[in-house]
A and B are shown apart, each in its own frame.
Chain A
Amino acid sequence: MPGAPDSAYVAARRVLLDALEALNAHLDALVLVGAQAIYLHTGEGDLAVAPYTTDADLAVDPNALGPVPALEAAMGAAGFALRTEPGIWFGAGAVEIDLLVPEALGGGGRRGARLGTHGNRAARKARGLEATLVDNTPMAIRALEDYDNRGFEIAVAGPAALLVAKLHKLAERQGAADRLQDKDALDILRLLRETETEALASTVGGLLSDERSTHVARESIDQLRALFGSEGAAGSQMAARAAQPLEDQATIAASVTALAADLLRALE
């Protein structure tokens, strides 16, 4: 709903700023991704369903990452704690910050990214994020509370890269259908709605031709077709489920399908 941002979003922003403060020496290696980045591009949009923005996702580019301070030490000093999984940090009020390394750059191992002096637990690997290192723009991220005057300029993934990343996330976890996955599908609609098709197609074209992201971009086009190719397709139905009861399910399914078809046509 329009108006003041909700308290969970305000808290999530506060903890994101805590993390950026802790990682100040590494800001050039970070890209804001995930729901918070999507929200920065799309705002509330026209959907009656609020975006899910209670955690923050930061992509880490190992090639731009300096040796000091060590990620784990810096995060720990700022009050963040790892629980069990690598890369999943909890800050004040149990707000989650994920440090994610594009899979192609994360080295061997199953989950934790191999980050040399930074160890194997500070960040986890995630497929599809490669595109966010290519398509991003610096934006000012400021606190949403009057008494907090912190602000950082940080790269924020562009809509095309976010689309590629979300599609990989959806495709990877397809089958494990739950409400959170459904919200990811609705985020696809947010990105498609708030970005002009031609502009989106042109940036995806750039991702296809950049060797760092060629592979994941190509995969994402197949994923888009498979997940959103028809109103009955899995992704379209997930988006429709996430939007109920505030939005009409059939309208959401028809809308995401129509815009996906527009993008696929523009990419041909």
Chain B
Amino acid sequence: MGFSETQLISSIEEQLRRRLPSSWTLDVKREPKAPHGRADAHFRLRSPGGGETQLIVEAKASVEPRNVMTMVTLLRRFTDATLLVVAPFLSARAREELVAAGACYADSTGNIRLVLDDPALFIETAGASSNPFPAQRVFPIRSLKGPAAARVVRGLCDFAPPYGIRQLATGVGASPASVSRVVDLLDREALLTRGPRGEVSTVDWPGVIRRWVQDYSFTESNRAETFLEPRGLGALQRRLAKSGATYAVTGSLPAALVAPVASPRLAAVYVENTMRAADRLGLRTAEAGANVLLVEPLDPVVFDRTWSRDGVSYCGLSQVTADLLSGPGRGPAEATELIRWMEANVDAWRT
């Protein structure tokens, strides 16, 4: 049985309604807007005395016990409200970890633990003790928007198949579930093929990059700010070569080294912190005439599999291509030239 996120949340809502005292009410709001990111749902509980509280619902396809602490810590950065982690099934170990992390939980088999102080409420029920759902139990995804998709897409482009889901997951530092979802999506869109055991056997990498940039945008998915290096892009590159900090240059500069179209006018540099990097590189904030973009990336994968020339570190070409395709100005034209070069020289960049 496969669960969509909507089905899962409905199922949990149903489980809770059955176990709540009849005098309590439950309102469900799906994908509510929030200041930081988006919760999967909000559950609002109201007691007969008029007290009410809101639960932030985090829906997961599956919960690995070892990931619980990190997951809860990350969620806590955005909210002080009670967290309710929901999944089709939660193992005993996962439930222990969730209790230890201070989160409430509910799965669709009836494993529920809900502890509220104000208004006071305590529900704890036991459901299935082993996972009743067959092996493939991931939500199908329809978008390649997020950081996990970025890691998987980059890996599919940069590593020559064949490889299994787990092997790729280890290679790119993503969960097997994330890899599986991205691979499923690309499989459905016929951008890769799979072998008898589900392993990835061929990847249409230019197609994968083009599909990625339908959801990923260099200027919108990342956080970019504009600066001026009045001494020009060569001076910037010389400073970068001496910089000990983490960075990787993307866009026109690396493209021009590989497949020149025209002299680059705009440098685009991924950094960990824009303001600190601007300071270190002696850049000035610029309104008109900026020639440098400093960019805090969606995901640190931009710093993986870089290459260097004259001491300057450049992004992997799959990243450069996606950034140019979804970037400003003549980026798309430069990307087309770059893809042409990459097709003719696959061994030079794909391992």
Contacts and interface: CB of A to CB of B under 8 A. Distances in A.
A247 B265 contact: yes
Interface string B280-302: 00001010111100000000000
Given A46-B231, A258-B228, A251 B289 contact: yes
A130 interface: no
Contacts of A231: 288-289
Given A253-B289, A254-B289, A47 B232 contact: yes
Contact of A256 (B230, B234, B235, B262): B230
Contacts, number: 55
Nearest to B290: A251
A262 B229 CA distance: 13
B288 A246 contact: no
Interface string A165-195: 0000000000000000000000000001110
B337 to A, nearest CB: 17
B345 interface: no
A86 interface: no
Given A246-B263, A247-B265, A248-B291, A46 B230 contact: no
Contacts of B266: 248
Contacts of A267: none
Nearest to B288: A250
A103 B5 CA distance: 84
A46 B235 contact: yes
B97 to A, nearest CB: 54
Contacts of A194: 231
A48 to B, nearest CB: 4
A251 B263 contact: no
A194 B231 CA distance: 7
Contacts of B232: 45-47, 193, 255
B284 A46 contact: no
Contacts of B263: 48, 246-247
Contact of B265 (A192, A248, A256, A259): A248
Interface-centre pick from B233, B234, B262 (highest chain A CB count, 10 A): B234
Please tell me the size bucket of the interface on B. 10 to 19
A193 B235 contact: yes
Interface in A17-43: none
Nearest to B228: A254
Interface in B228-260: 228-235
A41 B288 CA distance: 29
A260 B262 CA distance: 28
6 contacts: A46-B232, A46-B234, A250-B289, A253-B289, A254-B286, A255-B232
Interface of A: 45-48, 192-194, 231, 246-248, 250-256, 258-259, 262
Interface of B: 228-235, 262-263, 265-266, 284, 286, 288-291
Given A48-B263, A254-B289, A256-B230, 17 more contacts: A45-B232, A46-B232, A193-B231, A193-B232, A246-B262, A246-B263, A247-B263, A248-B265, A248-B266, A250-B288, A251-B228, A253-B288, A254-B286, A255-B228, A255-B229, A255-B230, A258-B230
